[in-house]
Structures are given as C-alpha cells and as structure tokens.
Amino acid sequence: MKFAVLGGGSWATAIVKMLAENQAQVGWYMRNSEAIDYIKKEKHNPKYLSSVEFKLEQLELSDDINSIIKNADVLIFAIPSAFLEGELQKATVSFQSKIIFSAIKGIVPETGLIVGEHFHEKYNIPFENIGVITGPCHAEEVALERLSYLTIACDDQEKATLVAKNLSSHYIKTKISDDIIGTEYAAMLKNIYALAAGIYHGLGYGDNFQSVLMSNAIREMKRYIKRVHKMKRNINNSAYLGDLLVTGYSTFSRNRMFGNMIGKGYTVKSAQMEMKMVAEGYYAAKSAFEQKAKFSKKVKTPIIDAVYQVLYEGKNAKRTFKELTDKLD
C-alpha cells in the first residue's frame, strides 16, 4: 500500500513524518520545485517544521501531481481549501480507484462544500472511499514528538483502520470514527471559533471570558452540525470539543493569531499580508454563514454571525464583539 501526501505546508510535512516513521513509502506532491530540491539536498522542509529530517529513500518527491496520484493507493490531501480545486484541475488521472483522505480544515470556495462532499459530488467518489483526518493535533507538536491524538473517520472502518495504523506511533494515538461529515464540519467550524477567540484576545478580553466563549462555541457547533448531518454523536469527544479547545487556545493556532490581529486593529488584508500563511477560518466564516441561509430551519449562530460581519461586512470589531457578549451565557 503506497501513500501520497499532497501539499507542502506544515500539516503535510507532519503527515509525511508520521507515515515515514511507520516505514510507509510516500509520494509527496509539492508545487514548489525549489522546496523539493532543497529537501532532496538537506533532508528537511525549508519553510515548515524544519527540524524534521526525512529518509529520502522512503520519499518520492515531485511537482507533477499526476505522477504522484498515479503511483499511490491512498491520497491524503493537505492543501489549503482555498487552493484545492485549482490544484485538482491540474490532475488528468482518475481518482476512481483511489482511497481519499482529507486533512484539510476548511470549505472549498468554488462549491461551498467540505472536502469530502466536494470529492463525492464533483468527482463522484463514493463515501466509502473518502475519509477525514482530524485532531486535536498541531503539526508543530508532531514535529516536537509531543503526545498527540488523531481521529480517523470513514464510512469503511477497514480503510479508517489502515490509515490510523500508518499514522500511529509512540507519540501519536489514533481513534476511529464513522462520523465523516460531522468531524469534517467540526474541523471547519472550530477555525471560525478560534478566530473569534483571537479577536477577543486582541480586544483585551481575558481568560475568564474566553472560557465562556468556548462553552458557547461548542454548543453552537453542536446545533450547526446537527442541522447539517443528524446522527448520534458525543460533541464532547476529542474530535469536536478537543479540537476546538486546542485551536482556540494554542499559540500555534494560525486562526487565533489572525483573529488577534483583527482585534488589535489590523485590516483583513494587512493581517493576511503580515501572516504570510492561510487562516482557514477566514474562508470558513463566509461559507458557514452562507450555508446557514440554506437551512430549512433557522439555527442560532451568534459567534459565526459576528465573525462574518467583521470580516466581510466591514463592521467594527470592538462594537460587534461587545454586542456578542450580551448574546452569550
């Protein structure tokens, strides 16, 4: 069984590290040919998790997406959702015989769908061949080999087990789930809530209030996911609440960092330029807000609404988030 990781960022680098430690043969697609040349020479990624050293004999590195897809059985996508479809348009080989797992925490802008639904609806991939890799887990802590947990979700439990086995190690523990839709929506929504946590931090709110925000966020997440995909799930499990907490509180969180800059007075454009990284919550806020309008019944989402108003309607962050405090309990 050969794996392929598609993406060149920190999460892709962490996944390659996990697979390589289990002696898997890994194809690695990166569109940056200079980064590929650097890895082949120096054995580590120059821009992301540079402390991680790779055994080159286990890797097939290429900027040709078709050769990487063609030679792999399992494809793990770790490309930011905003750029996913652009990369998929380069692919001329078929996905039909492939097992596809998404490690992407976001919405595909072209369709407004989570990644699993995007592959299912646009590329006719059956759900039993689609899976999700979610946290709570930061790539930076994988690089440091700190104890971390992953949730692997797929309708086909054998495929989930296969991927889980190849990602597990002495510092990575894995859990299997059949809630592919719920876990992927949770991974998308928690970025919006982390962005809200960052905005509040930038505005000067303290830890006491942050706990109230997180409490309200997990309940809001539960309402939203239940409207999208109703099934029996425990929203307090690590894939939902755990991932929300680590993204909302961690200094490694790009979404919290982005929100913090907005709270301090940066414009959206200036914050994006300053970070030089993708904050998935920015795109997710628009998609989640617009999708909510399509629900047959209204769902109460004051936090998503406030983030959307600040990022896309130009509302004043201080005033908007002060009004939000009166809607939380």
Specify whether 222 is located in the same domain as 305: yes
| Res 15: pLDDT | 95
The one catalytic residue among 190, 264, 286, 297: 190
Which parts of the chain have pLDDT scores under 70? 296
240 and 163 part of one domain: no
174 and 122 belong to one structural domain:
yes
Question: Tell me, what's the pLDDT at 293?
Answer: 86
Q: Supply the pLDDT for residue 39.
A: 93
Could you tell me if 154 and 285 lie in one domain? no
Q: Specify the CATH number for the domain of residue 141.
A: 3.40.50.720
Q: Using CB atoms within 10 A of its CB, is residue 206 exposed (0-12), middle (13-18) or buried (19+)?
A: exposed
209 shares its domain with 171: no
**Predicted confidence (pLDDT) per residue in 174-202, tens digit:** 999 999 999 999 999 999 999 999 999 99
DSSP readout, 183-246? HHHHHHHHHHHHHHHHHHHHTT--HHHHHHHHHHHHHHHHHHHHHHS-----TTSIIIIIHHHH
| Domain final residue pick, 151, 178, 205 | 178
CA distances from 136 to 31, 124, 144, 167, 214 (A): 27, 29, 15, 14, 15
Q: Domain count of the chain?
A: 2
User: Do 137 and 107 fall into the same domain?
Assistant: yes
Amino acid of residue 168: S
The domain of 86 spans 3-178
**Residues 149 and 246 occupy one common structural domain:** no
CATH number of the domain bearing residue 319: 1.10.1040.10
Confidence (pLDDT) at 41 = 93
Same domain, 190 and 302: yes
Both tokens of 14, joined, read 């962490």
Residues 188 and 174 reside in one and the same domain: no
Domain boundary among 146, 178, 210: 178
Shared-domain flag, residues 192 and 285: yes
pLDDT of residue 146: 94
222 is annotated as an active-site residue: no
pTM for the complete prediction? 0.90
Answer for the pair 145, 114: CB distance below 8 angstroms, yes or no: no
173 and 281 part of one domain: no
Domain closes at, from 135, 157, 178: 178
Mean of all residue pLDDT scores within the chain: 93
The rounded distance, in Å, linking the Cα atoms of 308 and 283 is: 10
pLDDT, tens digit, for every residue of 204-236? 999 999 999 999 999 999 999 999 888 889 999
Domain shared by 33 and 163, yes or no: yes
